[in-house]
Amino acid sequence: MTTTETPAPPERPDTADSLEIRTTPVRKRLIPYWLLLPGILWLIVFFAAPLVYQASTSLQTGSLEEGFKVTWHVATYWDALAEYWPQFVRSVAYAAVATVLCLALGYPLAYLIAFKAGRWRNVVMILVIAPFFTSFLIRTLAWKTILADGGPVVGALNHLHVLDVTSALGITEGHRVLATPLAVVCGLTYNFLPFMVLPLYTSLERIDPRLHEAAGDLYARPATTFRRVTFPLSMPGVVAGTLLTFIPAAGDYINAELLGSTDQKMIGNVIQSQFLRVLDYPTAAALSFILMAAILAMVTLYIRKSGTEDLV
Amino acid sequence: MTHTETPRSSGGDVRLRGISKTYGSFTAVHPLDLTVPAGSFFALLGASGCGKTTTLRMIAGLEEPTTGTVELSGRDVTVLPPYKRQVNTVFQNYALFPHLDIYENVAFGLRRRGIKSVKKQVEEMLDLVQLGPMARRRPQQLSGGQQQRVAVARALINHPEVLLLDEPLGALDLKLRRQMQLELKRIQTEVGITFVHVTHDQEEAMTMADTVAVMNGGRVEQLGAPAELYENPATTFVANFLGTSNLIQAEVVEAGGEELLLRAGDAKLRLPARRCSAPARSGDKVLAGVRPEKVSLAHADAAGTLAEGRNRLPGRIKDASFIGVSTQYVVDVPGLGELAVYEQNIERDGRLVPGAEIVLHWNPAHTFALDADQDIDAGADLDEEAA
């Protein structure tokens, strides 16, 4: 070897090297923050700032002509709640029913895609996502046509006397579907179904098929295997799917607007009209905050109850 | 719930009759007859894709045979689903339930059979596999070796007639694997259940099993006790897959007596006639085989001092590698190719270095002969590949 003959490296490059060694980790440590920056900015501009603005709006009093001023008038909250609690209850009820229906329809579908579809998997997935290619509004308007009074669906339901039963239950009125709770819940269920199916599919698809074999090997019949292995392991998907369905459904106003009547107004409709028609901004902002707090409380309770923190 | 018998301490036998499995045009297992005696430790050994796992899955009921029947303890179970068979499996990568703790994983089978008081049995089983203190942990909190023991406990607690093990040690490192081999052997002796073990590791099969079936291309090549397979391989695949063999192209010169006389190149080789698995008449081609550890080396100058009646081949050392207990030589024999020799490091002759002219010699009784009508290299590289 010739190491002994190699001249000692000059001083200057040596110090430059050690300088670089000292600076690189600092730069490296900053990289995560740079990567976070766009997200943080986005959150500040489009979430935190409007939130603060709305909070201050909800505490203002005044009128459009005289202008609004922050007067810390907390009573707006109580007044809003006292006046619009039926719409709150209705929103939660409709959203809950729609979520349960989504789960009932979505779980078998996701199960089918994950375990039985084989080479048709992608085709079925596309069919699930396909409605997203049209706008939410148009899809909901289409349901107006589907459920129209003289339409074939209502005709068939009348013929089979289904509407007599649903009317007795109070979810439809007379011989029509439109402008009844049934129509609004149908619209919600349809519109939010993909939000249920996709997370369910993701968590079902992750389950090792050998776990099913192991359960069968350990004397579990197919139904028991589902109850003891498949369903518990799909809980993260169930929780994610129900949240992704329930939260937007509770705040939705399009379905109630297009498919319901004044008797099916949800809290979203109230907030919309307070903001855009009545122009009572403080009440609208207060209602928004109440809705947000209520959903936050319900979701927290739900996640606690379902005990899936360590499964996600 | 599933009908269950009272747990029995001894195992049942497995009888496969004409069992086969085809997927489309691919035949994974050719029609196969196999009997695993009750209480034995039986290994299905072969490289990946040889059909050993498919065979195991057909016994478990996880795969439906295309033809043939599966019998457990004399009962035909071919059409029974897995949950109705008195058979349990230790899966490759264990397939432990991630949402249940160790205790519940082990109790799973008992609970499914409607047994209410599982505590005593689960605790006993966890003690047997030395995992008592881990009962409330989740599988992902355990090491590979511990997970493996949970998988064994989860299967054994059901007192199956047959325990099936699908490459159970494949995911463990070498040292742990050796340890678990002894552990599994101990458990099997203790509980007396029939074990059917699928592995690609020939050493593992030989260490643990009473009987080994060597599978290749969906067929059983040879079946027997490990020593029997090693000493008397019936095919080149078995000779090469189980350990290493020197196979030499030879021609029968003299047959009929107790001994066969062969000619390999210019040399004469002798072997006991009963160790030739091919029909040998004068003029037939055979493959003469000898294991590397049975062969000795002598320097060419010392050739005269060798005892009479030994098989000899002249050659030159091509390579020597010292591996502690032994030295492994590669010897080039003119006209016959390269042969391997493992010499114990007892009295090393300083002249035995690469390039030296030497004579290989061994006891004719250690020679075997195979039908020359097969691939001389079959199974030679699979072993290292799989390991």
Instruction: Give the pLDDT confidence of B52-92 residue by residue, as tens digits.
Output: 999 999 999 999 999 999 999 999 999 999 999 999 999 98
Q: How far apart are CA B376 and CA A216, in angstroms?
A: 44
With contacts defined as CB-CB under 8 Å, which chain B residues touch A234? none
- Residues ≥6 apart with Cβ < 8 Å to B292: B244, B245, B246, B328, B339, B340, B341, B342
pLDDT at A192: 95
> In chain A, how many domains are there?
2
CB B167 within 8 A of CB B199: yes
Fold of the domain built from segment(s) B245-386: OB fold (Dihydrolipoamide Acetyltransferase, E2P) (2.40.50)
Residue among A218, A233, A311 minimizing CB distance to B108: A218
- The answer to whether residues A30 and A108 belong to one domain is no
Q: Which domain holds residue A296?
A: 85-306
- The answer to whether residues A276 and A169 belong to one domain is yes
With contacts defined as CB-CB under 8 Å, which chain A residues touch B88? 217-218
With an 8 Å Cβ cutoff, is B93 touching chain A? yes
Indicate the residue type of B13. D
DSSP letter assigned to residue B157: T
Sign of CA dihedral B343, B345, B346, B347: positive
Structural domain includes residue A199 = yes
Mean pLDDT by 10 residues, chain A (312 residues): 47 49 73 93 95 93 84 91 94 96 97 92 91 91 91 90 89 88 95 95 94 95 95 93 95 94 92 92 94 93 75 43
Q: What is the residue extent of each domain of chain B?
A: 14-231, 245-386
- Residues ≥6 apart with Cβ < 8 Å to A52: none
Structural domain includes residue A154 = yes
A217, A308, A309, A310, best to mutate vs chain B, most B CBs in 10 Å: A217
- Residues ≥6 apart with Cβ < 8 Å to A241: A102, A103, A106, A195, A196, A197, A198, A199, A200
- The answer to whether residues A119 and A198 belong to one domain is yes
With an 8 Å Cβ cutoff, is B62 touching chain A? yes
pLDDT at A23: 60
Place of tokens 């729609």: A98
pLDDT at B267: 87
Closest approach of A207 to chain B, Cα-based (Å)? 10
CATH number, domain at A170? 1.10.3720.10
- The answer to whether residues A35 and A128 belong to one domain is no
- The answer to whether residues A43 and A89 belong to one domain is no
- The answer to whether residues A169 and A261 belong to one domain is yes
With an 8 Å Cβ cutoff, is A312 touching chain B? no
With an 8 Å Cβ cutoff, is B322 touching chain A? no
- The answer to whether residues A27 and A149 belong to one domain is no
Structural domain includes residue A279 = yes
Q: What is the CATH number of domain B14-231?
A: 3.40.50.300
B97, B104, B122, best to mutate vs chain A, most A CBs in 10 Å: B97
pLDDT at B10: 64
Q: What is the pLDDT of residues B306-321, one digit of tens each?
A: 888 889 899 999 999 9
pLDDT at B12: 86
Closest-CA residue to A88 (of A293, A282, A259): A293
CB neighbourhood size of A74 (10 A): 11
- The answer to whether residues A202 and A249 belong to one domain is yes
Structural domain includes residue A108 = yes
pLDDT at B7: 41
Residue among A213, A218, A232 minimizing CB distance to B112: A218
With an 8 Å Cβ cutoff, is B83 touching chain A? yes
pLDDT at A304: 86
Q: ipTM value of the model?
A: 0.81
Structural domain includes residue A75 = no
Pairing of strands B41-45, B194-199: parallel
Closest approach of B216 to chain A, Cα-based (Å)? 25
Those residues of chain B that have pLDDT short of 50 are: 1-9, 383-387
- The answer to whether residues A89 and A45 belong to one domain is no
Q: Dihedral through CA B108, CA B110, CA B116, CA B120, nearest 10? A: -100
